[in-house]
Amino acid sequence: DVKVTQSSRYLVKRTGEKVFLECVQDMDHENMFWYRQDPGLGLRLIYFSYDVKMKEKGDIPEGYSVSREKKERFSLILESASTNQTSMYLCASSAQDTLLGEKLFFGSGTQLSVL
Amino acid sequence: QKEVEQNSGPLSVPEGAIASLNCTYSDRGSQSFFWYRQYSGKSPELIMFIYSNGDKEDGRFTAQLNKASQYVSLLIRDSQPSDSATYLCAVNIGYGQNFVFGPGTRLSVLP
């Protein structure tokens, strides 16, 4: 069965802390994504990766970085957390894209609160 | 700016009725179209995808695509209370894995 696992369901951090969100998939997918979801704004893409050690900026990369050292693991890093980064963070993966794209499988999400 | 728009709702329908969810997109180069269902507090799950103009049916769900009008819809027949969720429209604009999501429509099916 398809599985994308995010390390924490809820996380509370202080302003200025460095925050790591971990995501692991067991489907041998090439592509992995980090989204944040806010009420009324839908899902917005932060970063994605289509191969190990490769990364591409999404629509809202500011204040975030990512790491993909192994195919199955994609980490999102908040270098210095701020209150406007309080959000639901969703990791997703997909197989190598065809011309028309492939479906996304999502993790269960991490609700991050920055105080 | 590539945009995907949906009515935020809530859309309320009685049990057994047809629920119609609509989505418009701005990029004419969009190639593929997806509907995700998201229950409150849960992550999105894919329920339908469509690539070509016309209708695609899967059980109680029908996706409809009209590229000329830049419009995609999801029909849910014989709606059930368990269909109550937020439905996200997602569009792949055709290169790489660049999905753009709409804000979602909240559907409430009343028993």
3-state secondary structure A6-37: ECCCEEEECCCCCEEEEEEECCCCCEEEEEEE
Strand, coil or helix: what is B106? Answer: strand
CA dihedral B91, B67, A96, A77 (to 10 degrees): -20
With pLDDT > 90 as the criterion, what percentage of chain A qualifies? 72
User: Best mutation site among B99, B100, B101, B106 for testing chain A: the one with the most A CBs within 10 Å?
Assistant: B99
- pLDDT at position B41, please? 87
Alpha carbons B56 and B66: distance in angstroms, whole number: 12
**pLDDT 10s digits, B26-44:** 988 888 899 999 999 899 9
β-pairing, B85-92 with B32-38? antiparallel
Closest CA to A33 of A78, A86, A80, A74: A74
**Interval B64-86 mean pLDDT:** 96
Determine if the peptide bond prior to B103 is cis (ω within 30°): no
Interface mutation vs chain B, best among A43, A46, A57, most B CBs within 10 Å: A43
Q: Provide the 10 A C-beta neighbour count for residue A53.
A: 10
Q: B66, B76, B60: which is closest to B109 by C-alpha?
A: B76
Residue A1: pLDDT band with limits 50, 70, 90 = low
Contact (CB, 8 A) for A5 and A23: yes
Please check the confidence at residue A76 and state whether its pLDDT lies above 70: yes
A100 with B99: Cβ contact below 8 A: no
Q: Is A61 on the interface with B (CB under 8 A)?
A: no
Taking 70 as the threshold, does the pLDDT of residue B18 lie above it?
yes
* Residue A22 DSSP label: E
Q: For residues B21 and B102, give the distance between their C-alpha atoms in angstroms, rounded to a whole number.
A: 12
Structure-token pair, residue B16: 């057994």
Taking the C-alpha atoms of residue A81 and residue A19, their distance in angstroms, rounded to an integer, is: 7
pLDDT band at A72 (very low <50, low <70, confident <90, very high): very high
Average pLDDT over residues A56-76: 95
Contact B96, A50 (CB under 8 A): yes
* A50: contact with B, CB 8 A cutoff: yes
pLDDT in tens, B79-107: 999 999 999 999 987 655 678 899 999 99
For residue A41, the chain B residues in CB contact (below 8 A) are 103
Q: pLDDT tier at A97 (50, 70, 90 boundaries)?
A: low
pLDDT of residue B79: 97
Mean pLDDT calculated for residue range A76-83:
97
What average pLDDT score do residues B67-77 get? 95
Whether B10 shows a pLDDT value over 60: the answer reads: yes
